[in-house]
């Protein structure tokens, strides 16, 4: 297993509930954006050799790469982007999905999670579409 995958705090020490709770502390969306960008800094760097065409997620405004490793029942994801805010959004998604089984990924109510975060109302339509493309790709992997 790639050490960078196991170093990933999302889905381990940073859960979806943690993100919901922390974002709830901030009054302004400017502060929330800063927090989301800071989350992106927690993502382990993805090696350039993994940033290949077959790992690129279509439908994102920025470049986003996703690597998956199945470990027993659970999926471990490594993700990266060329945009700071998108790296943070990847952290938000991985907090919900990383280190979970396919069933847990498919059962997780991502729409309710995004609603709790009040996220989609505060992203541009293209960022929102990219977020959905990331979720769709992870769900396809989990359902395969």
Could you confirm whether 100 is annotated as catalytic? no
Catalytic residue among 60, 83, 119, 134: 60
Phi/psi region, residue 72 (left: phi>0; alpha: psi -120 to 50; beta: rest), is left
What DSSP letter does each residue of the chain carry, written as one string?
--HHHHT--BTTTB-HHHHHHHHHH-SSHHHHHHHHHHHHHTSPPPPGGG--GGGBPTT-SS-EEEEEEEETTEEEEEEEESSHHHHHHHHHHHHHHTTEEHHHHHHS-HHHHHHHHT-GGGS-HHHHHHHHHHHHHHHHHHH-
Residues designated as active site: 60
């Amino acid at each position: 297993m790639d050490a960078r995958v196991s170093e990933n705090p999302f889905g381990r020490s940073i859960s979806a509930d943690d993100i919901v709770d922390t974002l709830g502390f901030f009054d302004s969306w400017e502060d929330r954006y800063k927090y989301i960008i800071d989350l992106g800094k927690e993502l382990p760097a993805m090696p350039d050799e993994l940033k290949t065409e077959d790992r690129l997620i279509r439908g994102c405004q920025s470049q986003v790469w996703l690597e998956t490793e199945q470990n027993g029942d659970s999926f471990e994801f490594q993700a990266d982007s060329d945009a700071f805010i998108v790296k943070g959004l990847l952290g938000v998604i991985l907090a919900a999905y990383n280190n979970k089984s396919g069933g847990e990924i498919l059962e997780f109510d991502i729409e309710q999670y995004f609603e709790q975060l009040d996220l989609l109302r505060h992203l541009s339509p293209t960022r929102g579409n990219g977020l959905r493309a990331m979720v769709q790709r992870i769900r396809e992997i989990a359902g395969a």
